[in-house]
Structure formats: C-alpha cells, structure tokens
Amino acid sequence: MIFPPQAAEGIKNVYGIPMKKPRALIFRCGSCGHEEPKWLGRCPECGEWNTLTETAVSPGSHAGRALSGGTAPRSLPLSAVDPQEEKRVGSGIEELDRVLGGGIMKRSAVLLGGEPGIGKSTLLIQTAAAAGTRGRILYISGEESAGQVRMRADRLGLTANLDRIEMCCTGRLEDILVILEAVKPVLIMADSAQTLHTDEAGPAPGTINQMKFCAYELISWVKDHDAALFLSAHVTKDGLISGPKTLEHMVDTVLYFEQGGNPGGGGYDGDCRFLRAVKNRFGSVDEIGIFTMGEGGLQVVADPSLLFLVRREGAVPPGIATASVMEGSRSLLVELQALTVPAKGSVSRVFSGSIETNRVSRVAASLEKHLGLRLSDQDLYVNVAGGIRINEVGVELALAAALYSARTGIALPAATAIAGELSLAGEVLPVRKKAAREKTAGGLGFSLFTAGDLKGAALALFGSVKLG
C-alpha cells in the first residue's frame, strides 16, 4: 500500500497521487494582493492586519481551476480569460533572478539539482537572507542541524532577514505540514528532497515514492498559499539518481548547479560555478548564472568575461584563441586552448570537457578537408578557461583557429575575438547578435573577427594557408 486508502477513492492527479478536496473560496490581501485559502487576521506577505477579504474567483484564474474539480467541466473563450499577472519577488541575487527569468515566481516550485558539496545549501541560505519578500521564510533542513545552518549564515556574513527565517530540522512531511500552517511562510527552502519522508508512503525514507509524495504535498501547499518553494536535490556526476529526474516533471523550474574551473583572470577568489535552467515554465532555458565560490560564499561576478580570459604579460602562445559566444542574452569573451600531439594509438582521440567532442571532431575534419591540415593522425586536447561549458555554434570558427594555431605553431593576432559557425562545406555562417558581440569585444579592447569561409579566415588570421 503506497497511498492512504481513504484518499485513493478521490480524484488522482497525473502522478497517481490523490488530490485534495477543491476549495470554495479564496481570500486576497487588499494591500499586497497575496492570496490565502483561509481567512487570516494578518497577511503573511506584507504583515498588514485585517486586509484579507473574500474574493470571487473567475473560472480562468488559478484558484478558479482549483474549483473546477467540484463542478461540471467547462471551457471559456480565450478572450474572456483574465491574464494571470506575473507575481515575482526578487531573490536578491542578480544571477539567480536572471536564470529564473526575472525573479522568484509566486506559486512556483524550483528544483535545484547538483552534486553534493557544490553549494546548493549555500545558495539557499544566501537567497533566504537576500530575498525581497516581507513575509516569513521557512528553511527546512533535513541534513544539517539548525546550529550548523546558523554557523554557515554567520560565516557568510548574512545578517538580513535572520529574524524572519524560521528554521526547522526535520524531513518528516507530517511535521513540516504542521509547521507550514503555523508559520505561513511565503518562501520555503527544503534542503534536500532526499531527506523528505512520510508515514503514508511506505516505510523507507529516500525512495522515489516517498520523495514524490512529499514533493507533491509541498508543491500543493505553495500553490494554495501564494508562496514559492525551492527544493534541493543531490545528483551524481552522471545524473544517476532517478529520484530528482522524476521530480523534474512535477516542478515549474529545474536549475542545475555546475562546477567550473579556476577563473582565468580578474583576481577572483575561489572557483567558478554555473547555474543553468534545464526547464523553466516562466522564462528561457538559455540563461546562465555565473558565480565564484570562495570564503565569502557564492559571489556574483560583475564582469564575467574576466573569468574566461587569461591575462598575459608577453605574447599569446600558439593554440590560444579568443571566442565571442552568446550565453542566453549575455555576450562573453572566452579563451580557448588547443593542443595537438601525434596520436598514441592508431585512432586519434579528442579530449574536451567544455565543448562537445563531436563538435571538436567535426571542426577538425573541416580543417583537414578544406585547408588540407592533417589532424586525423593527432590527439586533440581542448580546454576553455574557467571551465565554462560552451554549447553555442558561434564558437566553431574560434575552435578552428585554435586547432590550426596549435597544429601549425603560428600564434593568432593579439586582441582578436572570433565568432562564426562552420558549415560542412567550409563556409563560415554569420552569427546572431553581432552588435552585442562587437560591443563586448570592444569594451575589453578586442576587435571582432568573422569571415566568409575557412580559407579566407586562415589567410586573414595567419597570413598564409599552410597545406599538408
């Protein structure tokens, strides 16, 4: 028996989990617009007294949908639907707001995945302390004691919101639901999904059923109470734990925290961390949050290009190229480093962590075919300064230049940022957002280089086309 028998007779949602009885009324705060399923004397969001009033719910609204379970199903013309106004609160962390699509959406659930130790708890407590909400914040810690969380907050120098962050150290859903009703938080940090358990979904904590059941209850709670939920989840290097993958379907937004390398320059403390959205119902999935993680916790990087460019005293050695890439709406300059050595085995191999090995192989094949530069007998190594993963096609011409430079021993001209996508025919296709790229390059003292084809690019950048 997985679910309680009395609930099993009711309506089930798509996960097979029984849904609660639909509520009949909502109460909206006249001062800030916060909504509650029950009347309260004091608004949990803005703290005003006697501002909650009973409100008629239109069938198109969120609350109206919740009512439809009890009445006959109906539709209505799209023109008659009230547009659901976006209610967001700032997380207080610019890079997190960017990845979320402009702040924390009310009634949303965010899953924050990442390897153990990458900084998920640090991001959650920093966000709790910086969030621009006036209501209370509940921090549910299933792994660390309240004292440990307090020590971390002190170590990070967090002082804001400490009176409004309520700590509870349990993973038991029944206890959490009691605390939620007592605290009425507007923001919930649950650290982590793996520690959530309930008496109602089988005996062993940490099973997928336990996690699903608890996550569903927490998500329902925030949707009913105009709050927002952050739920952290441990993921192994190869994403092997199936639990968080299941949770991805239940939440509105899925963020993954990734480990980068050491910053290339800029004098930053600590190593790079990247926050990426892999699912976002309320924003794009292209945006990337860039942080460094050091003594002071996660730091937002003011000028990220400095992380991915290596400052040098003398000339740039062969094998180094500067790429102009777009990560979401942001234009970055990134140093690529290539090394070619005669293949040890009979098959040439590609070693590349930050750019897909398939892309490296294809660019190498283009160089061999169209410029006659022999790379098929070489092992190819490609690095990106700062360890940032690059998925943009516009990196290909710079990658070709780095490989060409590494193989021929001719260095690239200084202060040249390269952008272009390669076709299999050896053409260089124009990149999007050229003006933004030029602006970024210019600001850092670089000129933007792009060309019509591979041969023209080699002539312009290296002065000659070296054959064979």
> 109, 188 in Cβ contact below 8 A?
no
> Min. distance of Cβ 133 from Zn ion in angstroms?
11
Q: Which is nearer to Zn ion, 54 or 295 (CB)?
A: 54
> Min. distance of Cβ 184 from Zn ion in angstroms?
11
Q: Which is nearer to Zn ion, 41 or 342 (CB)?
A: 41
Query: For residue 163, what are the CA distances in angstroms to 125, 175, 176, 324?
Result: 13, 22, 19, 45
Among 379, 348, 373, 370, which residue's Cα sits nearest to residue 424? 370
> Min. distance of Cβ 31 from Zn ion in angstroms?
4
> Min. distance of Cβ 29 from Zn ion in angstroms?
3
Q: Which is nearer to Zn ion, 186 or 275 (CB)?
A: 186
> Min. distance of Cβ 61 from Zn ion in angstroms?
18
> Min. distance of Cβ 82 from Zn ion in angstroms?
20
> Min. distance of Cβ 46 from Zn ion in angstroms?
3
Q: Which is nearer to Zn ion, 15 or 49 (CB)?
A: 49
Largest CA distance in the chain: 82
d(CA 170, CA 167): 10
Q: Which is nearer to Zn ion, 222 or 385 (CB)?
A: 222
d(CA 365, CA 115): 35
Q: Which is nearer to Zn ion, 55 or 209 (CB)?
A: 55
Q: Which is nearer to Zn ion, 57 or 186 (CB)?
A: 186
> Min. distance of Cβ 277 from Zn ion in angstroms?
29
Q: Which is nearer to Zn ion, 52 or 128 (CB)?
A: 52
> Min. distance of Cβ 88 from Zn ion in angstroms?
16
The residue ranges that bind Zn ion (CB under 5 A) are 29, 31-32, 34, 43, 45-46
> 400, 363 in Cβ contact below 8 A?
yes
